[in-house]
Structure 1
Amino acid sequence: VQSGGFDAAILATETPEQLDVGLTRALLSMQSDLPVVFLVPDREAASRCPALRGATFDQIHDLSWPGVELVKRLENEIDSTLAGRPEYTVIFVDDDEDFLGSLEELLARRLEKAASRFRIHAEFYESPLEALKFIVNLPPERLSVIVCDQIMPEMKGVEFLNKVKVIRPRCHRVLLTGYAGLDSAIAAINDRVLDKYLTKPIEQPVDFVNAVVHLVQEYHLRISHDAERSRLLSQFEIIRAISATSDIHGAIETITGWMAEHMPSWQPTVLLTEGQELVVDTGCVALLNLIKGQRLPADHSLFCWLRGSRHPVFATTRQRLLEAVPGLDVSQDFPVALSPLDHGAQPLGVLLLAAMPGMSFNRNERILVNFMADVASVALRGLRDREKLETLYVATMGSLMETVEAKDHYTRGHTERVRELAVALGEAAGMDPKDLKDLQYAAELHDIGKIAVPDAIIAKPGRLTGDEFAIMQEHPRRGDKILQHLKFLDHARMIVRSHHERYDGTGYPDGLKGEEIPLGARILAIADSYDAMTSARPYRDAMSADAALAEIQGGAGRQFDPRLAALFTTLLETRHSRENTDSEKNTREERT
């Protein structure tokens, strides 16, 4: 996917309830770069499957569609993805006019071909001062890579890159130098002035182009990660705001108000079904001749689309819009998004966005629009479906947690494993379904406070200093604060706050002791510690399961609840014994 070799990811299954959670989350993590679609026998039933809870309803489609119909619907997805390709600028600075000319000739043919998913603009300057003037006027996220010579009359390359670092700290900075200049290049890397050095003369043009493209791809991943995190925070804000509303129109006004503030180029409009009419409830679209309060009859093309395909539409041209919604009154090209508001088989309305010609939706905006349509669909049922709203909230926060884990590949998947262990121990301890649900929520959100911890501490490859550890110790308290506004998380919130307390009272943040610590927090402490011990870190290898269980037993009465520690040991020993038995059985069958 990162290489730009694919246009869509499609997973077809007849048994969505058996889908692996890790697989579907891996697919959904790609959706900032390309469309992700799931084909299932029953859309409504599939949307409730655990593995698909992170997918918006527009991503789940009917497995029985004819191939021609499927391709037609995917064309809209792929076209809009290509239209929204990110644009990046790569700048080369060298006072040698001949070298710069040969470099321009070399790169002009190869950059776009090597990275087809991006639009790459190459700029060439003989003067570093002129290059700095150009950089200042570039949009902040446009500059991806800058490559410069070390020996230039106006200033040294390292000095120039240091100035670039001040005004555009996120771009990749590369120094071109001869072998005699390697010492200064290495020193600059150690001082974090530059990210890489390349030697002159360029003996392998293909390697040079690949090195530049690789840096652009790395930069794109960094920007995409930040954009996804921003989107997830937005989804969190939307659900939090809607949770505070008490009526349907209040929820819709919250959504359209948020969109008007955060997506000012797009004009939101909501149409609601009332019997056999579709009523413009909020907003207006002059280009579609829609005004607030207008009532559209049952045979109106928008109403026919809503009762028929109900497939979300993201169109940038009149032709594409009419292909999706035949008969619509539109006379010119302009971008339009239509996302259905529905609850099961019953259509409830339409979320519509329009903008001036020339604009297009990027992937994160598309995902956000469809997510808001899903949330609005719940709100339109009078907010009676609280459980679904709560699940959306926790899923969003869980996705936000994954962006924290993604900064440190050693902890990737930690939350998922801790949840599984904690729920298994809770069941073994005899917790009732309500307490198990609170424990599950707490396990999924136990490290949510780490979003307030600086990235440098989260991803630090070595042990933390005393000051850094003190900052890290604040994450249970911060997690408590983040979750305190929603009543349904009250019990889970206390588990999150207390999961680093110790049985002997020496833990944090409150120094609780023994039974003062909530049961769920005592369970979560064991699951969290076990997974931490059996996961590798840069400064130590992962412990074996037996060694980690020995540590749990050794900490009984001091760090851990002794009854739960014994129960956890029995639980895992039984599980490992069963796995070994199954493995031996499979081996015998294979030999047979």
Structure 2
Amino acid sequence: MCEAHFNCIMQSIETRSSQGWIIINAEYEVVYVNESFCRMWQCTRENLLGKSLLQWYDGEKQNSQGRYFGPLIETMATGIEMQNVEARLPKYLSDECIWQLVDTFLIRDNKEKVEFGVASYSVIERFKAIEQQLNSINLKVIKAFSKAIGARDVYTMQHSEKVAALMFGLAEAMLLSKHEVTLAYLAGIVHDVGKIGVPENVLNKPGRLTEEEFILMKQHPTIGSDILRQIDGFADIASIVLHHHERYDGKGYPQQIAGESIPLLSRMLAVCDSYDAMVSARCYRQPVTKAQAMAEIEKCSSSQFDPVIAACFLRFLNSDLSLAAVD
């Protein structure tokens, strides 16, 4: 990989991503970490750059039970890339551990030799506390649906995790009750569960949908709501999911309701969903920057989005709360 290309990737990660990122070379030496990673692990770049990742584990790759010390080390050792793996990992030179959602992948040269291992991290510590309060059977059902969708469309699974984090943070910023914060997080996790009923060729089409295909895609809020209503205790979440593509001006779907007739958490979900869609890369388009996405949210305030929620969301994104919720 040429230095210019490498630097371009680093700049993109630094400016676009709220996740923690680390890159190591084939010898496990750290060649890059972003600021979000340093905040998560409470360390500095100087602590890490040029040093072996294995120093965290006394130079070992596995514990006494033969388990690898984290997804990135396992990916480097086995060549198996990972997506949305939940892992409880230690902070820098500390016994304190935090729950992370981790993706890993490898960068190879033109001879397929591994040059770098890359991992991204999202803190899910507070989200795990929410999950522990829920009916474990219902949560397993939801996660099973999420994995089923992820098998057909990796973007949707990753997108749902990010939207859930945004919903969680926005709900806290709006000073909603503990129950509403929990509902907000869960609604983010399951808001696209109805895509399990959308044909795969439509779901993953690398381009603009035809009118007929868009009609099929617009069915996913209704399908998702119908699925969720069958799960004990999920009636409120089903209603939130049903209306997350309604518009404040009444021009959305599926019921074309407007203003405060749309449930509060659905109005919040519309903003969080749209923001993450804009800043995420798709096979048919490049992501926009955080600033560009925020400008679009402001532009669509009062038409697509509730103006009060849109304004609160923009303040939230510019606050330290967004780093705690989304990083």
Indicate whether the TM-score tops 0.5: yes
| Whole-Å separation in 2 of the counterparts to 1:433 and 1:49 | 12
Could you report, residue by residue, the CA deviation over 1:90-110 in whole angstroms, capped at 9, with x for unpaired residues? xxxxxxxxxxxxxxxxxxxxx
- For 1:535, the equivalent position in structure 2 comes to 280
- For 1:196, the equivalent position in structure 2 comes to none
After TM superposition, list the pairs within 5 Å mapping 1:444-455 onto structure 2.
Answer: 444-455=189-200
SS of 1:539's partner is coil
| Whole-Å separation in 2 of the counterparts to 1:577 and 1:499 | 21
Residues 527 and 446 (structure 1), Cα distance of their counterparts in 2 relative to 1, 3 Å cut: same
For residue 209 of structure 2, the aligned residue among 464, 489, 493 is 464
Residues 10 and 543 (structure 1), Cα distance of their counterparts in 2 relative to 1, 3 Å cut: same
After TM superposition, list the pairs within 5 Å mapping 1:123-272 onto structure 2.
Answer: none
Q: CA deviation at 1:9?
A: 4.7
Residues 490 and 457 (structure 1), Cα distance of their counterparts in 2 relative to 1, 3 Å cut: same
After TM superposition, list the pairs within 5 Å mapping 1:117-516 onto structure 2.
Answer: 387-388=133-134, 390-516=135-261
Given that 1:477 and 1:497 are in contact with CA atoms closer than 8 Å, whether structure 2 keeps it comes out as yes
| Whole-Å separation in 2 of the counterparts to 1:509 and 1:11 | 47
Query: RMSD across aligned C-alpha pairs, in angstroms?
Result: 3.3
Given that 1:21 and 1:50 are in contact with CA atoms closer than 8 Å, whether structure 2 keeps it comes out as no
- For 2:100, the equivalent position in structure 1 comes to 20
Given that 1:502 and 1:512 are in contact with CA atoms closer than 8 Å, whether structure 2 keeps it comes out as yes
Residues 578 and 452 (structure 1), Cα distance of their counterparts in 2 relative to 1, 3 Å cut: closer
- For 1:569, the equivalent position in structure 2 comes to 314
Whether 1:554 and 2:299 are equivalent positions in the alignment is yes
Given that 2:240 and 2:266 are in contact with CA atoms closer than 8 Å, whether structure 1 keeps it comes out as yes
Could you report, residue by residue, the CA deviation over 1:504-548 in whole angstroms, capped at 9, with x for unpaired residues? 011111111000000000111100000000011222210100000
For residue 267 of structure 2, the aligned residue among 511, 516, 522 is 522
Bigger CA drift: 518-527 or 392-401? 392-401
- Counting matched residue pairs gives 220
| Whole-Å separation in 2 of the counterparts to 1:50 and 1:557 | 31
**1:418 is aligned with what amino acid?**
V
Residues 17 and 565 (structure 1), Cα distance of their counterparts in 2 relative to 1, 3 Å cut: same
**2:98 is aligned with what amino acid?**
Q
**2:177 is aligned with what amino acid?**
D
Q: CA deviation at 1:391?
A: 3.8
| Whole-Å separation in 2 of the counterparts to 1:556 and 1:403 | 34
Residues 53 and 523 (structure 1), Cα distance of their counterparts in 2 relative to 1, 3 Å cut: closer
User: What TM-score does the superposition give when structure 2 sets the normalisation length?
Assistant: 0.60
Could you report, residue by residue, the CA deviation over 1:447-497 in whole angstroms, capped at 9, with x for unpaired residues? 111111111111211121111110110010011110112341111111011
Given that 2:149 and 2:156 are in contact with CA atoms closer than 8 Å, whether structure 1 keeps it comes out as no
| Whole-Å separation in 2 of the counterparts to 1:403 and 1:459 | 15
- For 1:286, the equivalent position in structure 2 comes to none
Could you report, residue by residue, the CA deviation over 1:30-51 in whole angstroms, capped at 9, with x for unpaired residues? xxxxxxxxxxxxxxxxxx9966
Q: CA deviation at 1:433?
A: 0.8
| Whole-Å separation in 1 of the counterparts to 2:275 and 2:164 | 12
| Whole-Å separation in 1 of the counterparts to 2:255 and 2:203 | 23
Given that 1:53 and 1:395 are in contact with CA atoms closer than 8 Å, whether structure 2 keeps it comes out as no
Could you report, residue by residue, the CA deviation over 1:264-294 in whole angstroms, capped at 9, with x for unpaired residues? xxxxxxxxxxxxxxxxxxxxxxxxxxxxxxx
Could you report, residue by residue, the CA deviation over 1:328-351 in whole angstroms, capped at 9, with x for unpaired residues? xxxxxxxxxxxxxxxxxxxxxxxx
Q: CA deviation at 1:413?
A: 1.2
| Whole-Å separation in 2 of the counterparts to 1:52 and 1:568 | 24
Residues 560 and 507 (structure 1), Cα distance of their counterparts in 2 relative to 1, 3 Å cut: same
| Whole-Å separation in 2 of the counterparts to 1:545 and 1:49 | 24
Residues 411 and 493 (structure 1), Cα distance of their counterparts in 2 relative to 1, 3 Å cut: closer
| Whole-Å separation in 2 of the counterparts to 1:485 and 1:414 | 24
Higher RCO (C-alpha 8 Å, min separation 6) = 2
Q: Which runs of 5+ in 2 are unaligned?
A: 1-61, 71-88, 106-124
Q: CA deviation at 1:423?
A: 1.1
Residues 504 and 458 (structure 1), Cα distance of their counterparts in 2 relative to 1, 3 Å cut: same
Q: CA deviation at 1:436?
A: 1.4
**1:479 is aligned with what amino acid?**
G
